[in-house]
Structure 1
């Protein structure tokens, strides 16, 4: 997902080309969902329930996707700041035909 890049003398990690496309697609998809469902940008805590459906049985850690996903949801205005996101990984399984991440949001009162 990340590659090394050099900026001046600093070595930093940046999204790979494929990851950048995924990130941009995720922002667009979440923004469309937000508008369709009239979700107002949360200013407080939001429970983010996640179900992962992987394309194959290769070993993966669900929590490795959280940083980029929660940042993308912030850019889509699901919440003002991802520090208020409370991710809950509910389950994972393999779905070769339709790999995806399903998400459910709940604003915390």
Structure 2
């Protein structure tokens, strides 16, 4: 059986995450030290085989996500979810003492 989550639940979760970030970073901005990261495409999430590595860029992800705000004619795509996920992962890795 697959996993399910309601869109409203995601909205509530994202709002809680944003509230946490606003509380922790009262400057209204988060600074990340690294730019490049390893991309593992979904179809290669198998833990039993190693695939060729792809590299992503946080700077590129942030720039593309900001275009969603500045260019109202730009469509939002599922790639933007990947960009958000990469950004959230980078924030977690930078500031989560349990993994850092």
Report the TM-score when normalising by structure 1: 0.26
Higher relative contact order, structure no. (Cα contacts within 8 Å, ≥ 6 residues apart): 1
Between structures 1 and 2, the one with greater helix share: 2
Report the TM-score when normalising by structure 2: 0.27
Between structures 1 and 2, the one with greater strand share: 1
